[in-house]
Amino acid sequence: MATNPMHALYEEPGPWTSVYLDASGDTADPRGQAASKRNSVSHALEQAGAPQADIDAVTEALATPTGMPAPAARLLLVKGGEVRLDRGLPGAVQVGEFAEHGPVPDLVPLVRHRPVQFEYLVVLVGHDAGDVLLCTTASPEPAEREHVQGRADTLQKVRAGGWSEANYQRHVVDVWTHNEGEVAARVDAIVTERHPRFVVAAGEDAGLAIFLDRLSAGTRAITRGVPVDARPSDASGERVDAEIRDAVDAELAALRARARDLIRPRAQGESPVEALGIGEVVHALQQGQVELLLLVDGAGDAHANEELEDRRVFVLDGPPWVASAPEDAGDAGVIGRVRAPVGLVRAAALTDAMVMVVPADELPPHTPAAALLRWPVQSYAP
C-alpha cells in the first residue's frame, strides 16, 4: 500500500498555493460574504506571488460551498493551476486564516482540526474475498483500498446427486478458511509494513472468527472484531463507525497519557526519551527519532504559540527534511524557509511520525513543541 495522503503531497516538489479560511457562511448575506471572501483571497494570493492559474483555481473552488454546518473551516492546496486538496474541516478556524504561495504545501490545519494523526486499518471480511482499507485520522476517506480475492467455488450450490451435505459443508469451511487466511496474510503484511495503531475487522460471525484465528498473534492483539449481518445495512455501518470512533478515542487517550508520563524532569544520568522546544525537536526529526510530534494548542499558552508561529525553519528536498540553519542540511538542498509548524509537520509526515496537538498545560511552561522519541539519547548537538 502507498503512503498516506499527507506524505504523498509533501513528496511533490513545489511551488504550492495554500489557502485556509473560515467556511461557516453563517451571516445574513452568505452569498455576499462568499463573494467578498473570494475577492480578498484572490488579492492576498496576488500579493503572495501566486500564479494566475492557481488564483483562478482557488476562486473557482471557493464558488462551491463545502455544505458543512457552522462552524467550519476549509483548506485548499493548489499546484500548477490544479486543485490537489479541497477539504472542509469541522470546527472554528484554528490560529488564523492564510492565503500563501510557497515551496511546500501547508497541511498544518489538518493537524489543528484533528486531535491526533495516525494510520489504522479497516478490514471488511467476506467468505470469498476481503477489502482492506488503509485509513488515517487526517482524512474521512480511506488513503488506500485493496481487494483480496479468494476462491469462489465455495459459494455455488452442489447439484443433485453430488457430494453429501456433510462433505459439502466441510468443503465450504475449508475454502472459507483458505480465503480468510489469504486476507489475514495480507493484513499481517500491511501491519508489518505500515505499523497502524489498530485494526477494525467487520464480517459475519463465522467468517470473522476464521479471519481472526488466522491472524498473527501481533496483529490479533491490535484487532477489534465487529460482527455484522450478511446483508449490508445502515445498522452494520453504524456499528463499524462506532467501533472506529471508540478505537481512535482510546488511542488518543493512551498517547496523551504516555506523553504526560514521559515529558517530565529527568533524574541525573537518566537518558531523555523526549525533545523539548523547537531546536531539540528539529534535531530529533533530523535523526528520524521522533515517534510522536506534539504541538501546543494555539488557544492555550499565548507565549508558546507566538514562538511557534514566529519561528522559521528551513525545508529540504530530501532527508533530513528540515533544518534550523542551512549548514545543517547535510547533502539535501534547501528549498525554502517556512513557519516552524509547517516545517515540523512536514518532516514528521515524511519520517512516519505521528502528530498531535495538545493543551498548553500538558507541556512544560512556554514550550511550543515537543516530541516523544523512538529511542532515548544521551544528549543533543548544540
* pLDDT of residue 282 exceeding 90: yes
5-113 maps to CATH 3.30.960 = yes
Mean pLDDT of the chain: 84
* 3 state DSSP class of 170: helix
Pick the range with the lowest mean pLDDT from 11-25, 84-98, 290-304.
290-304
CA distance 77 to 38: 15
Q: Looking at domain 274-373, what is its CATH homologous superfamily?
A: Ribosomal protein L30/S12 (3.30.1330.30)
Mean of pLDDT values over 352-367: 88
CB atoms within 10 A of CB 115: 17
* Domain 5-113 identical in fold to domain 117-258: no
Q: Which CATH number fits domain 117-258: 1.10.3080.10, 3.40.50.10470, 3.30.420.60, 1.10.357.10?
A: 3.30.420.60
Higher pLDDT, 26 or 143: 143
Q: Percentage of the chain surpassing pLDDT 70?
A: 82
Band the pLDDT of 205: cuts 50, 70, 90: confident
Tell me whether residue 162 is exposed, middle or buried, using C-beta atoms within 10 angstroms of its C-beta: 0 to 12, 13 to 18, 19 or more.
Answer: exposed
Band the pLDDT of 165: cuts 50, 70, 90: very low
Pick the range with the lowest mean pLDDT from 257-266, 274-283, 284-293.
257-266
Vertex 1: Cα angle to 215 and 354 (nearest 5): 85
Query: Domain coordinates of the chain in residue numbers?
Result: 5-113, 117-258, 274-373
Q: What is the pTM of this model?
A: 0.79
Higher pLDDT, 150 or 364: 364
Cβ 320 vs Cβ 281: under 8 Å:
no
Mean of pLDDT values over 171-176: 42
Band the pLDDT of 308: cuts 50, 70, 90: confident
List, for residues 209-247, the tens digit of each pLDDT value: 888 999 999 999 999 999 987 555 556 678 888 998 899
Question: What pLDDT was estimated at residue 342?
Answer: 96
Cβ 289 vs Cβ 372: under 8 Å:
no
Nearest one of 273, 351, 286, 287 to 313, comparing CA atoms: 286
